[in-house]
């Protein structure tokens, strides 16, 4: 294979690709840093499970399981695989894919300065441990750590670094990815469902696109979810896109890309191919 990329982007060596600019980050540290940067502009409310969204007095109201209510003129639904569980958003085709990472104790067995990526990944040591990831189990929502998943992560590593004397995992973390049916993130304004149903339901008849009215949306309601396995890469771009949409500013990405991410695509596909 001939690599047609500048050397500062990627080089080929010993059967692998090297990305000199590649890096890694700790999601927990990133979130902490973002909160600190946000300062007084951000209020974090933990353990507040939102069970209902409603529109009252030109504002969005969210209700939580512990009986609290919050209101805002703009609401961005960003709750991962659970976005389609909110009443009114069930048509978002996002489902859960369980994943487990394993923590391997740092030590003489490995001196790593860059991440190694293959079917899984192994990261340089951070706070005394290497992170080894990750398993995939579609439609599984258990957060229990499993020994067999640690073994699976180790086996994947052994296929690319068979001579490593890998110690046992000392812990790990299981979580659920939100994956859309077409594997693209779901980012943008939330359609006015009634308007869509009333005006686009006959899309399967093949009429000219220009004969349809411009889409209408729920005012101030956006979704940013379905980031699958790559949220650390796609979330910052998506946040910029939504910020531009909220503020009616020029989009930071091409319109065609924004269309691919658009939440309304699931409805449009249904109208084009009714069951």
Phi, psi dihedral angles at 187 (to 5 degrees): -140, 120
Residues 117-136 that bind ligand FAD (CB under 6 A): 133-134
User: Is residue 73 within 8 Å of 220, Cβ to Cβ?
Assistant: yes
Phi, psi dihedral angles at 228 (to 5 degrees): 50, -130
Shortest Å distance, C-beta 117 to ligand FAD? 9
Binding residue for ligand FAD (CB under 6 A) from 31, 143, 158, 232?
232
d(CA 112, CA 133): 15
Binding residue for ligand FAD (CB under 6 A) from 60, 76, 79, 132?
79
Phi, psi dihedral angles at 177 (to 5 degrees): -85, 150
Shortest Å distance, C-beta 160 to ligand FAD? 16
Residue count at the site for ligand FAD (CB under 6 A)? 23
- Binding range to ligand FAD, per CB under 6 A, among 15-23, 99-107, 160-168, 214-222: 99-107
Region for residue 245 given its phi and psi (left: phi exceeds 0; alpha: psi -120 to 50; beta: otherwise): alpha
Binding status of residue 160 toward ligand FAD by CB under 6 A: no
User: Is residue 252 within 8 Å of 237, Cβ to Cβ?
Assistant: yes
d(CA 245, CA 11): 38
Pick from 110, 111, 114: which is nearest to 154 by CA? 110
d(CA 121, CA 6): 24
Residues 183-212 that bind ligand FAD (CB under 6 A): none
In angstroms, the Cα distances linking 225 to 45, 77, 79, 143, 185 are 19, 8, 7, 20, 6
Binding status of residue 227 toward ligand FAD by CB under 6 A: yes
Written as one string, the DSSP assignment of 226-264 is --TT-HHHHHHHHHHHHHHHHTTPPPSS-HHHHHHH-TT
Helix (H) or strand (E) holding 271: helix 265-272
Which is closer to ligand FAD, CB of 134 or CB of 261? 134
Binding residue for ligand FAD (CB under 6 A) from 10, 11, 19, 50?
50
- Binding range to ligand FAD, per CB under 6 A, among 153-161, 163-171, 175-183, 258-266: 175-183
Residue nearest to ligand FAD (CB): 231
Binding residue for ligand FAD (CB under 6 A) from 177, 262, 265, 270?
177
Shortest Å distance, C-beta 74 to ligand FAD? 17
Binding status of residue 31 toward ligand FAD by CB under 6 A: no
Binding residue for ligand FAD (CB under 6 A) from 120, 191, 231, 264?
231
Which is closer to ligand FAD, CB of 100 or CB of 152? 100
Distance from chain centroid for Cα 56: 29
Shortest Å distance, C-beta 263 to ligand FAD? 13
* Site residues for ligand FAD per CB under 6 A: 49-50, 78-80, 82, 99-101, 133-134, 175, 177-178, 225, 227-233, 235
């Amino acid at each position: 294979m001939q690599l047609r990329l500048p050397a500062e982007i990627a080089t080929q060596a010993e059967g692998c690709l090297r990305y000199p600019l590649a890096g890694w980050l700790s999601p927990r540290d990133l979130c902490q840093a973002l909160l600190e940067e946000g300062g007084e502009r951000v209020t974090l409310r933990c353990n507040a499970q939102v069970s209902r969204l409603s529109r009252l007095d030109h504002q969005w109201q969210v209700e939580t399981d512990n009986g609290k209510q919050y209101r805002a003129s703009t609401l961005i639904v960003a709750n991962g695989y659970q976005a389609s569980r909110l009443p009114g958003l069930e048509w978002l085709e996002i489902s859960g894919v369980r994943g487990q990472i394993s923590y391997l104790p740092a030590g003489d067995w490995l001196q790593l300065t860059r991440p190694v990526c293959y079917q899984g990944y192994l990261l340089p040591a951070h706070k005394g441990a290497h992170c080894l990831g990750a398993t995939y189990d579609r439609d599984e929502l258990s957060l229990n750590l499993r020994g067999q998943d640690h073994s699976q992560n180790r086996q994947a590593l052994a296929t690319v670094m068979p001579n490593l004397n890998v110690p046992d995992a000392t812990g790990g973390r299981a979580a659920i990815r939100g994956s859309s049916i077409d594997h693209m993130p779901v980012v943008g304004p939330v359609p006015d469902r009634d308007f869509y149903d009333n005006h686009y339901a006959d899309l399967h008849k093949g009429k000219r696109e220009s004969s349809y009215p411009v889409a209408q949306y729920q005012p101030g309601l956006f979704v940013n979810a379905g980031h699958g396995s790559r949220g650390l890469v796609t979330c910052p771009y998506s946040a910029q896109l939504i910020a531009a949409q909220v503020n009616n500013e020029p989009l930071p990405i091409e319109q065609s890309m924004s269309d691919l991410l658009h939440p309304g695509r699931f409805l449009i596909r249904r109208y084009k191919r009714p069951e």
